[in-house]
Structure 1
Amino acid sequence: MQSDGFWTVLVVDDEAQVRASLTRCLEEDYRVLTAASAREALEILNREEVDLVLCDQRMPDMTGVEFFREARVSHPEVIRVLITGYTDPDDIIRSINEAAIYQFVSKPWQPDHLLLLIKRALESRELARRHRYLSRELKFSDDVLRRQNDHMVKLLQDTYEFDKLVFASDKMVEVCNLARQAAATDLPVLIQGETGTGKELMARAVHFFSARKAFPFLAQNCGALPDELLHSELFGHKRGAFTGAISDRLGLFPAADGGTVFLDEISEVSPSFQVSLLRFLQEGEVKPLGSDQTRHCNVRIIAASNRPLKELVEQKKFRQDLYYRLRGFELNIPPLRERVEDIPVLAEHAAKKYAKSINRNIAGISNEVLQRLKLYPFPGNVRELENEMRRMVAVAEDGEILSVKHMSPELAKLLPAKPDNGRAAFLLEKGTLKEKVEALEMHLVSQSLLKHKWNYSRAARELGISRVGLANKIKRYKLDKSGAQ
């Protein structure tokens, strides 16, 4: 939108009379630009802020679909409307898929219909933009709420670029606010959390918002690598340093000089390698295997662990001095089961992302699906949720709403609790007080077992009883995996 308050519409048609006619129709409500060819239109898009393009299918240099296919890549935010004489539905669908065309206008076009279509298209885009800001960016930082106008918008856009992390919970707001503070410093960062919670995404976000963002971000998984190979990967080696070293290797620390190195599963490195890593953190010096020379590297270390390092230190399995060196800032990402509010936004984000990658249109996610997702503990965290959403999108038809029938069987059988109706049902049933209490107890036990996939420890913890007590109730009520309701 321009500063004078008008949306800008670009009219593309090789006939001057048609361009003039469309301009007269639109100029009262919109700022109108015109182009006589697709190439001229692309030049205008590169120098002007255009909100919507209205293009004829038949042009001398390229078709309207070909033009929109190119504009979709270079200017994806622009709404694309095609004026055409198409009547074949297959041609229309193919064109929509190829160029992401918002709508078709059939010839001869009607002014009232065209104006209404453009108005609805621009309103829809504006609502979508506002929804993104309000539902995502405003949740990121309390400070954003106190900003005004242009400065506020800039902060929101910066926040959205932290982007691979999608969330809505207060717990993640706190973690990400601390991450932004960490990014402004040059201190090492220790990220802890269960597998699949997004530790590497958090590390990349910290790097992106740091002063090192123009330099490389390199990652290395330290799990299950022998010391010699890990030393080679990080510090480099000279040719002939060990069997198989047929050429010199630079190593991640020298390669990322000025940038950031992310060390995943840092808890798995051996005590001897912990010494080498500690020396690097203290001195910043790198000595490749097989070399007598050292070089200084200015690298920020971000380490991650799916096991609490403090406990490993207490168990004498991890050096205390290295632990304190790594935790300049300590970020603890909570598991997904402790931030259920994030599940709907993560599910929506994953579904849209995968649907776009396979060129499929998904109309939305049903409330029944979201309720079942909230009941599931997701031991694999965000990664497991993303896999479930990819599966659902894959089995859904184009244009469908994701429903319970698309879910994997173990999640589909989870039944959302209905506290008020459930209590009423038990009260209305005939029977003694003891029978009603037993019926309610059986219902609660079976639901907890289903929710936790028959994991006795988790179900017992949720119910506040011991594993033995849970086993006795399963035996008493004759519950089994197939019969639990």
Structure 2
Amino acid sequence: MSTRDEETLLIVEADPTIRRSLANYLKTDYRVLGAKTGAEAWATLAKEKVDLILFDDGVADVKGVEFFREARVRYPDVVRILLTESREYSAVMNIIKEAAVYQVIPTPCPPWHLRLLIDRALESRELSRRHRMLSRDLKLSDGAFHNHKAHLTKLIRESYEFDKLVFASDAMLEVCNLARKAATTDLPVLIEGETGTGKELLARAVHGFSERKAFPFLAQNCGALPDELLQSELFGHKRGAFTGAVSDRLGLFVAADGGTVFLDEVSEVSPSFQVSLLRFLQEGEVKPLGSEKTRHTSVRIIAASNRPIKELVAAGAFRKDLYYRLRGFELTIPPLRNRVEDIAVLAEHFTRKYAEFSNRRIAGITVQMMRQLQAYPFPGNVRELETEIRRMVSLASQGEFLSTEHLSDDLAKVVPQDLRQKEMNLIHSSGTLKQKVERLEAQVVTQTLLRFRWNQSKVAKELGLSRVGLANKIRRYKLATTSAGDPPHAQPGRS
């Protein structure tokens, strides 16, 4: 049995002169074996690892198609090339189909042509092998995919989805990659970011990818409660501990034992409560209000703040030692206005989500509306975008595109950068004041027509014109509907 690493060719050729000639030509790069009959070829295949068979159809004991039909079953990984005198297309195609032959070559064939074909055949075989290995290695735990394309599509999608967080920007990819690493540890996590960026979703994702995922994830907004109630919510209380405590309360730290507690707006807690929280992080001890007993719990803390805690520490408004305890991993979610590339994928995601939720069919999002969304700063971040899309889906008709007609007033007023630049160009262009005013008026009419998708009744009402007056301006400025979402060219009229 051979142990050589180079690729091995088996030449099945009845004429010894041709066989030796081919072997001498190919042996510089390949290990070459020879056989003068089909029986001799089978014997060689039984004891040698062969990568490619070159079979001349002139051997006496077996036809090439019959030999390869059996070889296809016994040695499926071996590349099969058949040399034949036949030049009929139908005969060649039958051979390829019946025996799964890589290539059928009419003879005579120049050696250099044959060499090139062998090189390409073995390269193709290696690529197929690597493809199979990659497909197997990338297979996810929830089962194989029907084909490699679908498999890779899901892998790419999951690379840009972290639990319920959907994104396309490198900034969010970096945050989520760090969050995945944080999930594999038991360290506290501090998440900072503006309101509406998705801090709780990120916290839930960290919990969901951690070893604590089988235990509870409980959340508490620390900014909404006074100290006594917050102490009760987190640490629990005994009956009668304070006015209104009519029964015992377990507290989130005990209820989530083994799991995760998410403390939102942790920056808003008082200095006295910061001391209680620090002690819990250090000792893991829980002492309910009104009780003398303490108990230990194993809870991971994920805290969030919409203000940079490092700045609060510098200002003396937050304990430095508590800050260092909370930031085992520190994750900062950038605002949506700083990752504009996420707006399109989020808008499409929310459109699908709420269309399915309301059992509606939405055809998609127009180019012009997407430009409007990407030009808006979204002070409420992802939460504001989600609310906007949900509203538009409810307004759209069955099978309709979401367009600028469905935008809320704040977003409808936004002028995309490319249109804003065109307006500036109009103002600074050459011409008299009257000509500049006409150009600007044509631009305003155009934008409004696009925003209302050429619904002239709505446009006339928006601009304070009669329908006849609007029709005159459309005719005067030679405006025409456009399907691409860009403003049509307008020619200022003469008075």
- Per the alignment, residue 429 of structure 1 pairs with 430
- Per the alignment, residue 189 of structure 2 pairs with 189
- Per the alignment, residue 248 of structure 1 pairs with 248
* 1:184-333 matches, cutoff 5 A: 184-333=184-333
* 1:118-133 matches, cutoff 5 A: none
* 1:142-153 matches, cutoff 5 A: 148-153=134-139
Q: Deviation string for 1:386-407 (max 9, x for gaps)?
A: 0110111111101100011011
Once the two structures are TM-superposed, the CA of residue 244 in structure 1 deviates from its matched residue by 1.1
SS at match of 2:417: coil
Q: Deviation string for 1:22-50 (max 9, x for gaps)?
A: xxxxxxxxxxxxxxxxxxxxxxxxxxxxx
Q: Deviation string for 1:331-357 (max 9, x for gaps)?
A: 000000000000011111111111111
SS at match of 1:298: coil
* 1:95-110 matches, cutoff 5 A: none
Q: Deviation string for 1:133-190 (max 9, x for gaps)?
A: xxxxxxxxxxxxxx93233342938657733100000100000001001001100000
- Residue 171 of structure 2 is aligned to residue 171 of structure 1: yes
d(CA) in 1 for partners of 2:351 and 2:331? 28
d(CA) in 1 for partners of 2:228 and 2:354? 39
d(CA) in 1 for partners of 2:317 and 2:326? 15
Q: Is the 8 A contact 2:160 2:168 kept in 1?
A: no
- Per the alignment, residue 355 of structure 2 pairs with 355
Once the two structures are TM-superposed, the CA of residue 418 in structure 1 deviates from its matched residue by 2.7
TM-score, length of structure 1 as denominator length: 0.57
- Per the alignment, residue 26 of structure 2 pairs with none
Extract unaligned runs of 5+ from structure 1: 1-146, 448-485
- Residue 346 of structure 2 is aligned to residue 346 of structure 1: yes
Once the two structures are TM-superposed, the CA of residue 243 in structure 1 deviates from its matched residue by 1.0
Q: Deviation string for 1:431-463 (max 9, x for gaps)?
A: 69xx99xx99xx9xxx9xxxxxxxxxxxxxxxx
TM-score, length of structure 2 as denominator length: 0.56
SS at match of 2:174: helix
SS at match of 1:220: strand
d(CA) in 1 for partners of 2:372 and 2:261? 39
d(CA) in 2 for partners of 1:390 and 1:319? 41
Q: 1:397 to 1:417 in 2, by over 3 A?
A: same
Q: Is the 8 A contact 2:375 2:417 kept in 1?
A: no
SS at match of 2:165: coil
SS at match of 2:223: coil
Letter in 2 for 1:171: A
d(CA) in 2 for partners of 1:374 and 1:321? 41
d(CA) in 2 for partners of 1:150 and 1:384? 41
Letter in 1 for 2:172: M
Rg: which structure is higher? 2
- Residue 376 of structure 2 is aligned to residue 376 of structure 1: yes
Letter in 1 for 2:307: R
- Per the alignment, residue 130 of structure 2 pairs with none
Once the two structures are TM-superposed, the CA of residue 428 in structure 1 deviates from its matched residue by 4.7
Q: Deviation string for 1:171-226 (max 9, x for gaps)?
A: 00000001001001100000000000000000000000111111110000001311
d(CA) in 1 for partners of 2:210 and 2:336? 27
d(CA) in 2 for partners of 1:253 and 1:424? 61
Extract unaligned runs of 5+ from structure 2: 1-132, 142-154, 448-495
**RMSD of equivalent CA atoms:** 2.5
d(CA) in 2 for partners of 1:247 and 1:345? 48
Q: Deviation string for 1:64-88 (max 9, x for gaps)?
A: xxxxxxxxxxxxxxxxxxxxxxxxx
Letter in 2 for 1:319: R
d(CA) in 1 for partners of 2:165 and 2:139? 19
d(CA) in 1 for partners of 2:228 and 2:413? 49
* 1:464-483 matches, cutoff 5 A: none
Q: Is the 8 A contact 2:365 2:402 kept in 1?
A: yes
Once the two structures are TM-superposed, the CA of residue 246 in structure 1 deviates from its matched residue by 1.0
SS at match of 1:154: coil
* 1:428-467 matches, cutoff 5 A: 428-430=429-431
d(CA) in 1 for partners of 2:165 and 2:346? 9
Matched pairs, number:
292
d(CA) in 2 for partners of 1:383 and 1:327? 25
Once the two structures are TM-superposed, the CA of residue 416 in structure 1 deviates from its matched residue by 2.1
Q: 1:429 to 1:150 in 2, by over 3 A?
A: farther
- Per the alignment, residue 8 of structure 1 pairs with none
Letter in 2 for 1:334: P
Percentage of matched positions with identical amino acids: 71
SS at match of 2:179: helix
Q: Is the 8 A contact 2:160 2:173 kept in 1?
A: no
d(CA) in 1 for partners of 2:334 and 2:160? 21
d(CA) in 1 for partners of 2:423 and 2:288? 67
Letter in 2 for 1:304: A
